Amino acid sequence: MTAYKTITLKRGKEESLLRFHPWVFSGAIAKLPDGLEEGDTVRVTAADGRLLGTGHYEVGSIAVRMLTSDDTEITPEFYRERLQRAWELREKLGLIRPDNNTFRLVHGEGDFLPGCVVDIYGNTAVLQAHSPGMHYARHILADALVALPGAGIKNVYYKSETTLPYKARLDPVNDYLIGGFETNVSQENGLSFNIDWLKGQKTGFFVDQRDNRALLEHYSKGAKVLNMFCYTGGFSVYAMRGGAEKVDSVDSSAKAVTLTDANIALNFPGDTRHKAYAEDAFKFLADMPDGAYDLIILDPPAFAKHRSAIKNAMVGYRRINAAAFRKIAPGGILFTFSCSQAISREQFRLAVFTAAAQSGRNVRILHQLTQPADHPVSIYHPESEYLKGLVLAVE
Ligand code: SAH
């Protein structure tokens, strides 16, 4: 038995752990053991000494991310089993196919591995640690990933330079833990994408929009499409396959526009229906003529990265949606999203409602969208739900 150090909670503070919430907040702790270091695996007990589980300790408002609610040893076998369970779920979801090898294998708390994200791009896994404990477990996780039976994972790229708490001074280096670069082309629903895990945002691709892109494809036939905040052009490529009359992609980043052009060329070489523009969203929307588009996608970056930014974010969502409502062609369809975890589904809907009311147009909700099943949300940890979307018919 490994001798883990023990963190004791204040009286009554065990309630949320008993309801399987996977975090211990620093304010709940009565006593930290001597010599405890960030990233250590710890046992957590109630004030009366009752064992509540085992987790990773870190300095900050979230003090422990729970791995188990019992005295399980946190061994390489433990991580292997959790990854195996995650893999089996993706198999069950039908995400592992020759024409689809792009998916999220580990979504933190939703896959019982708090602080850990793994995205799969063909035979490369991109591993991201959000906690010191997972940073220290990175080699064990990498070994377990390549050992997953039948998964065929050969390369593990570690990308945590911007996701680990800066104050922990872990100085993580983005690099391959196993293998190296082979190809960056991966498949999503039969479409090919260049994934830039070396320099791109997040793990290189917004895997979380897969189902929503597939839905957009069905609305694309004959449509004039505007994909605003296009990044890698995911929605644009699906719109092209769906038979759009024309597709314009916009992103303020010139690099994103290059990525989008490359992904269109990969799937539809020489197709002149698509154009990409490096421009600010608000400016593009203000300058475009009324009715130029009848299918608009608004998928902005998280306007509220923290709770303190909610008010400004609400203004941002209202303004960007109001601009789309003003300009979209009659009978048009608007796909609008928020990926801000700090903004609730109700708040987002209120911002979009306000924008719609300002435009004075008749608007109906056709679909209410969220993150896909490879981004599961523990029912005890609603915090891991972040993506919200509405598909609206605008008269
Ligand atoms: N829809 C994309 C993900 C969008 S990420 C997908 O499915 O993959 C958000 C994008 O918004 C980033 O690429 C960022 O460069 C871009 N962006 C941020 N601020 C912007 C602005 N003011 N105008 C246009 N694009 C912006």
- Region 159-177: mean pLDDT is 93
Of 387, 351, 356, 382, the residue nearest 213 (C-alpha): 387
Q: What is the pLDDT of residue 1?
A: 65
Whether 239 shows a pLDDT value over 70: the answer reads yes
- Region 77-87: mean pLDDT is 98
Residue nearest to atom 5 of ligand 1 (CA): 301
pTM for this entry: 0.96
- Region 107-127: mean pLDDT is 97
Contact predicate 326/368, CB 8 Å: no
Tell me how far apart the alpha carbons of residues 236 and 180 are, in angstroms, rounded to a whole number.
30
Q: What is the pLDDT of residue 307?
A: 82
Whether 343 shows a pLDDT value over 70: the answer reads yes
- Region 161-180: mean pLDDT is 93
Tell me how far apart the alpha carbons of residues 39 and 286 are, in angstroms, rounded to a whole number.
49
Q: Which atom of ligand 1 is nearest to the CA of 227?
A: 1
Give the pLDDT band of residue 308 (cuts 50, 70, 90). confident
Q: Which of 188, 251, 283 to mutate to test the pocket of ligand 1 (most atoms within 8 A of CB)?
A: 251
Tell me how far apart the alpha carbons of residues 334 and 320 are, in angstroms, rounded to a whole number.
12
Q: What is the pLDDT of residue 190?
A: 98
Residue nearest to atom 13 of ligand 1 (CA): 231
Please tell me which residue, 2 or 64, carries the higher pLDDT value. 64
pLDDT digits (tens, 9 = 90+) for 349-366: 999 999 999 999 999 999
Give the pLDDT band of residue 166 (cuts 50, 70, 90). confident
Half-sphere exposure of 177 (CA within 13 A, CB side): 25
Find all residues with CB under 8 Å of 139, minimum gap 6, and list them. Answer: 177
Q: Which of 196, 203, 229, 232 to mutate to test the pocket of ligand 1 (most atoms within 8 A of CB)?
A: 229
- Does the beta carbon of 234 lie inside 6 Å of ligand 1? yes
Q: What is the pLDDT of residue 306?
A: 84
Q: What percent of the chain has pLDDT over 90?
A: 94
pLDDT digits (tens, 9 = 90+) for 174-196: 999 999 999 899 999 999 999 99
Give the pLDDT band of residue 3 (cuts 50, 70, 90). confident
- Does the beta carbon of 188 lie inside 6 Å of ligand 1? no
Find all residues with CB under 8 Å of 302, minimum gap 6, and list them. Answer: 313, 338, 339, 340, 341, 342
Spacing, Cα 320 to ligand 1 middle (Å) = 13
